[in-house]
């Protein structure tokens, strides 16, 4: 038996794992003493490797390339040469007929690694000639990236995961750490044990609410009003750091005028919170010598998410909680490499290293390095543009890598309609997902465990992960497949290994220059920026309160609260909010194929409901129910719980039968284009099973 040191492929906590390998198979996992996890793992870390052995519990591994020669025909196994020729010739034809913008590509925030995302965005830009490349950050923390880039200069956590336990106050806003990032939840618990005050803003009584000093169960859809009220109290009670604000921020006068009307009394009706509780919470935050704000998708998956992110960063700026250790703003990224996919330029407006495609100097630099005459200046389509751009005829081909949009995007019936109108759908993945099952071309890739590379944890920390086993099937690494596609399309692309790719991108990205493979070996952890070969990286940003914005000051920002779009009424009287659960992950193609994890919960999933709402509807715990919205209807089980607020129900998005995205709405934040997964109107109906 030997051990391979890797990084967990699930959440952004960046836990180091030893995979135990016997006779070429992974047979177990042990916690390793990584920087963020300190010898601890959660359930997914311990038991989330089983899918590598093709258990077929949910869906089979993709074992060989496949093509569908004509619409309506069957997928048939072919050689790699035939699959690449089939896919590339069709892409070439579509590009010639409709132009480069008719082709969409996705990066992957999952197990594939940073190097692959770099190669995919290079393929889009240098080979296909468009910026139509995006990743699932669009549907989760896109607002954190957009908002923090504007107010502070970097769309990422300002401080490290390790610092959480040493802050003196945690404001946890729309973030269920125990289910989303159990190892981050341990840091919150340690902070509590070390005497930190904990404030939780969440409609549900989540685990962190149980240990909180103050729990604010705000009404679903009232985030902006509450954040404005916090700012109002900071100003009116003179709790803010006026000297810090004067020296290090701009926009105070407009900020003050916008939040002036948002007194705690004014927002009582909107938030459902007593004014006194709002005052107590922000007084507690402002009084702490160091304070940290953590947030998750309870902040970002809204039609007004970017505004709320900017508002939260304003609270940190107003109290001087930036630019030093144990403070800051923490959008805790969901999937294990969603930070990395953004870092690598799987974004329609950014080259790798957050260099804008609209910057002529950046375009010239990348064009020279990639050996092309020019690169497109116009930002590309986002992931959430895709269904609309297909239906309008602007996108004709979609090259999807390591994503399952027909399970994870909102309003799935529209997604299915759109995908059925594509002239070419290429899916590069490890499993026969819902999207793969309707593809014209399937390009099977190696999985986490079968290749090496670098991930970025939620706190900007680069870590190397090792290959544990040889792939068993007729698969290739993602970057090899993309290179074959590029070469077939007339752009010779070849790398010997991931280090060659990493060194190429380091040379083009000032933020990552010093993050060498040598430094990342073993337990190496290098948070960007790492601008010098000699630098160890930057655990906390904005030293000297120099913000990475023109002029170097942080921007204070507030906006008027806007209610969610899809309102409840007599026909659809309950709010549906999508959430996470500890045992499963994303579209479930990985965790659903792990024996231990699959036994935790099974199809058709569940809808969490308050006992009083359940009683009113005659629904018992574990009973099968229908959940319907204005867009669709699914069957699931009721999970009756006191933790759930009245008038709202909660579903996780992993289930293939009880797929809550049949119900969700495609209402987008106007800036980040992130869907409002957290709010749509539904009704629950019991199914008479007597």
* Positions that interact with ligand SF4 (CB under 6 A): 8, 10-11, 13, 15, 37, 41-42, 44-45, 181-183
Query: Edge-to-edge strands of the sheet including 103-106?
Result: 75-77, 66-68, 441-444, 424-429, 397-401, 103-106, 133-134
Contact 627, 606 (CB under 8 A): no
In the complex, the smallest distance separating the C-beta of residue 680 from ligand SF4, rounded to whole angstroms, is 28
Minimum distance between the CB of residue 372 and ligand SF4, rounded to whole angstroms? 37
| Nearer of residues 32 and 576 to ligand SF4, judged by Cβ | 32
Burial class (CB within 10 angstroms; exposed 0-12, middle 13-18, buried 19+) of 466: middle
Contacts of 201 (CB under 8 A, 6+ apart): 171, 172, 173, 174, 216, 218, 223, 226, 281
β-pairing, 214-216 with 197-201? parallel
- The DSSP call for residue 446 is -
Q: How many CB atoms lie within 10 A of CB 331?
A: 30
- Least Å distance, CB 167 to ligand SF4, is 19
* Shortest spacing between CB 46 and ligand SF4, in angstroms: 7
The residue among 396 and 588 lying less far from ligand SF4, judged by its C-beta, is 588
Q: Give least dist CB 650 to ligand SF4, A.
A: 20
Q: Are 94 and 424 in contact (CB under 8 A)?
A: yes
In the complex, the smallest distance separating the C-beta of residue 183 from ligand SF4, rounded to whole angstroms, is 4
By C-beta, is 149 or 463 nearer to ligand SF4? 463
**Nearest distance from residue 421's CB to ligand SF4, in Å?**
36
Q: Please report, for residues 35, 333, 412, 558, the alpha-carbon distance to residue 157 in angstroms, rounded to integers and kept in the order given.
A: 16, 9, 31, 20
587 cis-preceded (ω within 30 degrees of 0): no
Residue nearest to ligand SF4 (CB): 45
Write down the least CB distance from residue 456 to ligand SF4, Å. 13
* DSSP at 219: P
Q: Which is nearer to ligand SF4, 49 or 252 (CB)?
A: 49
Q: Give the full edge-to-edge strand order of the sheet including 453-456.
A: 453-456, 461-465, 526-527
Nearer Cβ to ligand SF4, position 44 or 460? 44
Helix (H) or strand (E) holding 406: helix 405-408
How near is the Cβ of 293 to ligand SF4 at its closest, in Å?
20
d(CA 574, CA 629): 10
In angstroms, how far apart are the furthest CA atoms of the chain?
71
Q: Which two tokens stand for residue 63?
A: 């074992």
* Residue 498 or 586 having the CB closest to ligand SF4: 586
Containing 249, the helix (H) or strand (E) segment is strand 249-250
Q: How far is CA 286 from CA 230, 282, 283, in A?
A: 10, 6, 5
> In 3-state terms, what secondary structure has residue 281?
helix
In the bound state with ligand SF4, the residue whose beta carbon lies nearer, of 5 and 648, is 5
Q: Which is nearer to ligand SF4, 38 or 545 (CB)?
A: 38
Shortest distance, CB of residue 343 to ligand SF4, whole angstroms? 17
DSSP string, 166-179: G-SEEEEES--HHH
User: Which 8-state DSSP code applies to residue 13?
Assistant: T
d(CA 75, CA 54): 20
CB 558, min distance to ligand SF4, A: 33
Minimum CB separation of residue 14 from ligand SF4 in Å reads: 6
Contact present, 520 and 463 (Cβ < 8 Å): yes
Between 12 and 323, whose beta carbon lies closer to ligand SF4? 12
Q: CB-wise, 41 or 619, nearer to ligand SF4?
A: 41
Q: Which is nearer to ligand SF4, 181 or 519 (CB)?
A: 181
Chain centroid, CA 568 distance in Å: 28
The first and second tokens of residue 413, run together, are 């019936």
Tokens of 26: 């992974």
Q: How far is the CB of 585 from ligand SF4 (least distance, A)?
A: 7
Q: Quick check: 134 and 103 in contact, CB under 8 A?
A: no
* Rounded Cα gap, residues 400 and 587, in angstroms: 14
Cβ distance to ligand SF4 smaller for residue 182 or 632 = 182
CB of 45 or CB of 143, closer to ligand SF4:
45
């Amino acid at each position: 038996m030997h051990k391979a040191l890797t990084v967990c492929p699930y959440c952004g906590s960046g836990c180091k794992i030893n995979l135990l390998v016997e006779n070429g198979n992974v047979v177990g996992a042990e916690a390793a003493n990584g920087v963020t996890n300190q010898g601890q793992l959660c359930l997914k870390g311990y038991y989330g490797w089983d899918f590598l052995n093709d258990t077929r519990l949910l869906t089979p591994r993709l074992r060989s390339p496949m093509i569908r020669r004509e619409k309506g025909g069957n997928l048939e196994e072919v050689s790699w040469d035939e699959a690449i020729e089939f896919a590339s010739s069709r892409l070439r034809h579509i590009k010639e007929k409709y132009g480069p913008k008719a082709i969409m590509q996705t990066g992957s925030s999952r197990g594939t690694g940073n190097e692959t995302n770099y190669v995919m965005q290079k393929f889009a830009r240098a080979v296909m000639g468009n910026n139509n490349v995006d990743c699932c950050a669009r549907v989760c923390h896109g607002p954190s990236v957009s908002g923090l880039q504007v107010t502070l200069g970097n769309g990422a956590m300002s401080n490290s995961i390790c610092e959480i336990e040493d802050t003196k106050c945690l404001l946890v806003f729309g973030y269920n750490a125990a289910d989303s990032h159990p190892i981050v939840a341990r840091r919150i618990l340690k902070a509590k044990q070390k005497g930190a005050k904990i404030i939780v803003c969440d409609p549900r009584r989540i685990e962190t609410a149980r240990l909180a000093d103050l729990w604010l169960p705000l009404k679903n859809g009232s985030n902006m009003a509450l954040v404005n009220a916090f700012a109002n109290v900071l100003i009116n009670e003179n709790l803010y750091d006026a000297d810090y604000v004067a020296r290090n921020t701009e926009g105070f006068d407009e900020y003050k005028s916008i939040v002036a009307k948002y007194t705690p009394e004014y927002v009582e009706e909107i938030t459902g919170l007593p004014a006194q509780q709002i005052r107590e919470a922000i007084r507690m935050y402002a009084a702490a010598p160091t304070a940290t704000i953590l947030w998750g998708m309870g902040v970002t998956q809204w039609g007004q998410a970017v505004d709320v992110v900017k508002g939260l960063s304003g609270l940190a700026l107003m109290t001087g909680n930036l630019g030093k250790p144990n403070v800051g703003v923490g959008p805790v990224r969901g999937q294990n490499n969603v930070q990395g996919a953004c870092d690598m330029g799987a974004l329609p407006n950014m080259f790798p290293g957050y260099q804008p495609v609209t910057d002529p100097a950046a375009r010239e630099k990348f064009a020279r390095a990639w050996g092309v005459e020019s690169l497109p200046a116009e930002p590309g389509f986002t992931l959430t543009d895709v269904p609309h751009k297909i239906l309008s005829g602007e996108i004709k081909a979609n090259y999807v890598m390591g994503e399952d949009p027909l399970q994870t995007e909102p309003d799935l019936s529209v997604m299915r309609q759109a995908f059925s109108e594509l002239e070419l759908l290429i899916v590069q993945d490890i499993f026969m997902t819902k999207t793969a099952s309707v593809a014209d071309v399937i390009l099977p890739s190696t999985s986490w465990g079968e290749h090496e590379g670098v991930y970025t944890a939620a706190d900007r920390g680069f870590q190397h992960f090792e290959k544990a086993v040889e792939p068993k099937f007729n698969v290739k690494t993602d970057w090899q497949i993309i290179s074959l596609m590029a070469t077939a399309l007339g752009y010779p692309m070849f790398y010997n290994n991931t280090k060659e790719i990493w060194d190429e991108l380091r040379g083009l990205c000032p933020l990552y220059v010093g993050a060498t493979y040598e430094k990342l070996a073993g337990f190496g952890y290098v948070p960007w920026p790492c601008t010098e070969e000699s630098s160890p990286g930057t655990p906390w940003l904005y030293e000297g309160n120099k913000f990475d914005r023109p002029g170097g000051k942080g921007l204070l920002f507030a906006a008027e609260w806007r209610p969610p779009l899809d309102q409840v009424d007599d026909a659809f009287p309950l709010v549906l909010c999508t959430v996470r659960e500890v045992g499963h992950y994303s579209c479930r193609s990985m965790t659903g194929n792990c024996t231990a994890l699959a036994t935790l919960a099974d199809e058709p999933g569940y809808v969490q409901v308050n006992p009083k709402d359940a009683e009113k509807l005659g629904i018992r715990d574990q009973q099968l129910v229908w959940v319907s919205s204005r867009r669709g209807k699914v069957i699931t089980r009721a999970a009756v719980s006191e933790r759930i607020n009245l008038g709202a129900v909660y579903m996780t998005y992993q289930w293939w039968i009880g797929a809550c995205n049949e119900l969700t709405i495609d209402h987008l934040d106007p800036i980040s284009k992130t869907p409002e997964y957290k709010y749509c109107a539904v009704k629950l109906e019991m199914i008479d099973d007597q």
